[in-house]
């Protein structure tokens, strides 16, 4: 990878001339991301209850449309593990039977596509109303709790496929309780493929040698799992004995894809929108998908070597249009995917056309050699999703939140448990409600929870002083940020927090990020007035409350 300096000089051109001048870098990065994306697109689709090819439709259509419509230069668009819970919940609500009744499964899939179309339209409307900043509302600990809960749910569903067993339960906690049963009733040859894949995924990142990273880990898993599947003759129905037991083998353990890509195109059924449950999933797709996509785009902006900034309303518009198009032909919901985006940067991408090339390579592969996809064992794809789920719910995440503050850990854990016990939307609501309760307990005036009073002074110097009263919390952050940015358009800014009763962790973290943005513009944002506040931990982003 080229290693440009962190300055904004020599920013790669991203118009049509940039498509040609950066072709070598972007096409190379796009090809390497394609190697990573192909198995993940297939695995995520199957985990969602959609046909395997649906995720490829999403990555192809989304990457091409968004590279033309968005200015998010280095993000990769496509299906993501974070939306599995919502997509699977939607098809299950509409009668998905996991293959028991193919006709019912097709109806559920088409009704979920109708929900995807409505969610895409809603995302477009939000973008036109310039609602991209709404991603700033959600408290950090709740967002991380949501992602960790999604990780647990993904693992609970996919670990059974790793062992070659179909679980009886559908709810996350019941699926977790069923794991010992699946281990006892494993299919040894399938489990060999799944467990070997898991070992590879967990050990390869620990190898620091350059040669070990030439081929992305997901593609290496496929390259090893396919020959093993051929050796076990998964293409044909047969049985084998092991340990005194008889086990069945056959194509049911392989990815099922059509030989002709066009025959897989499926149109939505909008009858689900006539029900309250259908609109619940529209809201879930819209809110969670938009939030994840905007947060990913924001995170990638921070590591863009040229420090380019995404227009989040424009990016949300592009994502909405792409989601609408994907759902119209049978694709999954799409977001900006952070792991593939990071790999895109690491492999030398310069402009958003790297995303387009990754989609082009996916299209060529599935159009020209769909037979190869059929040889991929499902256990290998399930192993990738278990690994992805573990990374979302990593124990290190719990430790990190604990270091920020015990109250943050409480919100984080309650959000995780609430989502596992109820559902995604209600669990997030419970986490936010607990956050409000903790703020009030720590002295935040109720009247300032949604709007922090700000006094603006412009003395004779070239600095604007903003004095904040009441409290500065996640729920009042959007208004506070607008005041800071409005003042920062013409002068340096001093933010005086001496009159606040509470400054929460989310605000502290985002103020530090805003300081970096001011520095990049050769301006300054000075934060003062926290000397009389007590920190709730030793972490620099810890919440502060005024000593009484």
Residue 420 resides in a domain: no
pLDDT tens figures, 387-399: 999 999 999 999 9
Q: Does 207 map to a domain?
A: yes
Give the pLDDT confidence of 217-237 residue by residue, as tens digits. 899 999 999 999 999 999 999
Question: At residue 129, does pLDDT exceed 90?
Answer: yes
Which residues make Cβ contacts (< 8 Å) with residue 498, sequence separation at least 6? Answer: 467, 528, 529, 530, 531, 532
Task: State whether 450 and 378 are in the same domain.
Answer: no
Find where tokens 């790999």 sit. 343
Which pLDDT does position 6 carry in this prediction?
44
Using the predicted structure, report yes or no on whether residue 256 has a pLDDT greater than 70: yes
Structure tokens belonging to residue 14: 């991203």
pLDDT of residue 533: 94
Domain count, the chain: 2
Helices (H), 163-235: 172-177, 179-184, 188-203, 217-231
Q: Provide the mean pLDDT of the chain.
A: 92
Confidence of residue 11 (pLDDT cuts 50, 70, 90): confident
Question: In the structure, what pLDDT confidence band is assigned to residue 211 with cuts at 50, 70 and 90?
Answer: confident
Residue 147 lies in a domain: yes
Using the predicted structure, report yes or no on whether residue 1 has a pLDDT greater than 60: no
Please give the pLDDT value at position 5.
Answer: 42
* 434 occurs within a structural domain: no
Please check whether residues 453 and 383 belong to one and the same domain.
no
Per-residue confidence band for 3, with pLDDT thresholds at 50, 70 and 90: very low
188 and 69 in a common domain? yes
Q: Indicate if 359 and 496 belong to the same structural domain.
A: no
The answer to the question of residue 428 being in a domain is no
106 shares its domain with 197: yes
How much is the pLDDT for 540?
A: 92
Q: Is residue 431 part of a domain?
A: no
Which pLDDT does position 289 carry in this prediction?
93
**pLDDT attached to residue 463:** 85
Q: 26 with 155, same domain?
A: yes
* Whether 343 and 455 share a structural domain: no
We report the CATH number of the domain holding residue 474 as 3.30.750.24
Dist CA 512 CA 503 (whole Å): 13
Q: Is 363 left (phi over 0), alpha (psi -120 to 50) or beta?
A: alpha
pLDDT at residue number 460: 61
Rounded Cα distance, 141 and 410, in Å: 9
- 388, 404, 424 — which closes off a domain? 388
Q: Look up tokens 């593609």; give the residue.
A: 219
pLDDT in tens, 428-476: 999 999 999 999 999 999 999 999 999 998 776 678 999 999 999 999 9
The pLDDT of 93-101, averaged and rounded, is 93
**With bands split at pLDDT 50, 70 and 90, how would you rate the model's confidence at 183?**
very high
Answer with the one of 358, 388, 418 that is the final residue of a domain.
388
Same domain? For 376 and 452 the reply is no
Is residue 418 included in any domain, yes or no?
no
User: Helix or strand or coil: residue 468?
Assistant: strand
Note whether 149 and 42 are same-domain residues.
yes
State whether 381 and 461 are in the same domain.
no
Mean pLDDT score, 354-381: 93
- State whether 456 and 379 are in the same domain: no
CB neighbour class for 334 (10 Å; exposed up to 12, middle 13-18, buried from 19): buried
How far is the C-alpha of 146 from the C-alpha of 150, rounded, in Å? Answer: 6
Give the range of the structural domain holding residue 163, as residue numbers without chain letter: 16-388
Of 388, 406, 428, which marks where a domain is finished? Answer: 388
Does residue 409 form part of some domain?
no
> What pLDDT, on the 0 to 100 scale, is given for residue 13?
85
- 357 or 299: which leads in pLDDT: 357
Contact 223, 375 (CB under 8 A): no
pLDDT tens track for 104-125? 999 999 999 999 999 999 999 9
**Statement to judge: residues 45 and 181 lie in one domain:** yes
pTM of structure: 0.88
Q: What is the mean pLDDT of residues 37-44?
A: 95
At residue 215's C-alpha, the angle toward residues 212 and 220, to 5°, is: 95
Concatenating the DSSP letter of every residue in 509-545 gives: HHHHHHHHHHHHTT--EEEE--TTEEESSSSTT--EE
Nearest Cα to Cα of residue 495 among 477, 521, 475, 522: 477
Q: β-strands 245-249, 238-242: how paired?
A: antiparallel
């Amino acid at each position: 990878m080229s290693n440009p300096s962190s300055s904004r000089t020599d920013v790669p051109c991203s118009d049509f001339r940039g498509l040609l001048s950066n072709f070598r870098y972007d096409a190379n990065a796009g090809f390497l991301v394609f190697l990573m994306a192909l198995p993940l697109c297939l695995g995520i689709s199957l985990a969602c209850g959609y046909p395997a090819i649906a995720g490829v439709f999403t990555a192809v259509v989304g990457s091409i449309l968004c590279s033309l419509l968005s200015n998010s230069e280095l993000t990769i668009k496509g299906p993501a593990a974070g939306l599995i819970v919502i997509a699977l919940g939607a098809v299950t609500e509409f009668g998905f039977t996991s293959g028991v009744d193919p006709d019912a499964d097709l109806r559920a899939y088409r009704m979920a596509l109708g929900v995807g179309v409505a969610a895409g339209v809603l995302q477009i409307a939000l973008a036109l109303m310039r609602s991209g900043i709404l991603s700033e509302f959600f408290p950090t600990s709740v967002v991380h709790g949501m992602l960790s809960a999604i990780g647990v749910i993904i693992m609970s569903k996919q670990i059974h496929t790793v062992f070659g067993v179909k679980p009886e339960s559908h709810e996350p906690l019941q699926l977790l309780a069923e794991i010992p049963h699946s281990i006892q009733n494993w299919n040894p040859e399938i489990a060999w493929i799944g467990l070997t894949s898991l070992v590879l995924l967990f050990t390869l990142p620990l190898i620091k040698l350059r040669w070990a990273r030439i081929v992305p880990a997901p593609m290496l898993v496929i390259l090893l799992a396919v020959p093993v599947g051929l050796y076990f003759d998964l293409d044909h129905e047969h049985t084998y004995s092991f340990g005194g037991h008889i086990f069945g083998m056959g194509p049911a353990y392989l990815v099922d894809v059509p030989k002709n890509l066009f025959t897989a195109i499926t149109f939505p059924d909008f009858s689900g929108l006539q029900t309250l449950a259908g609109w619940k999933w529209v809201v879930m797709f819209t809110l969670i998908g938009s939030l994840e996509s905007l947060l990913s785009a924001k995170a990638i902006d921070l590591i863009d070597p040229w420090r380019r900034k995404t227009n989040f309303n424009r990016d949300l518009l592009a994502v909405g249009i792409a989601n609408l198009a994907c759902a119209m032909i049978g694709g999954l919901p799409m977001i900006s995917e952070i792991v593939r985006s990071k790999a895109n940067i690491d492999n030398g991408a310069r402009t958003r056309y790297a995303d387009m090339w990754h989609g082009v390579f996916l299209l060529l592969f599935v159009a020209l050699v769909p037979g190869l996809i059929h040889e991929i064992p499902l256990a290998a794809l399930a192993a990738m999703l278990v690994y992805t789920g573990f990374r979302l719910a990593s124990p290190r995440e719990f430790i990190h939140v604990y270091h920020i503050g015990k109250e943050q850990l409480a919100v984080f854990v309650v959000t995780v448990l609430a989502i596992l016990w109820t559902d995604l939307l209600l669990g997030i609501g419970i986490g936010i409600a607990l956050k409000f309760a903790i703020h009030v307990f720590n002295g935040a005036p109720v009247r300032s929870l949604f709007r922090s009073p700000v006094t603006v002074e412009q003395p004779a110097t070239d600095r604007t002083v903003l004095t904040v009263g009441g409290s500065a919390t996640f729920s009042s952050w959007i208004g506070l940020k607008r005041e800071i940015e409005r003042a920062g358009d013409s002068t340096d800014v001093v933010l005086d927090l001496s009159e606040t009763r509470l400054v929460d962790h989310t605000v502290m973290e985002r103020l530090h990020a805003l300081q970096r943005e001011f520095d990049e513009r050769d301006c300054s944002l000075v934060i003062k007035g926290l000397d009389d506040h007590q920190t709730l931990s030793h972490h620099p982003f810890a919440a502060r409350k005024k000593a009484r």
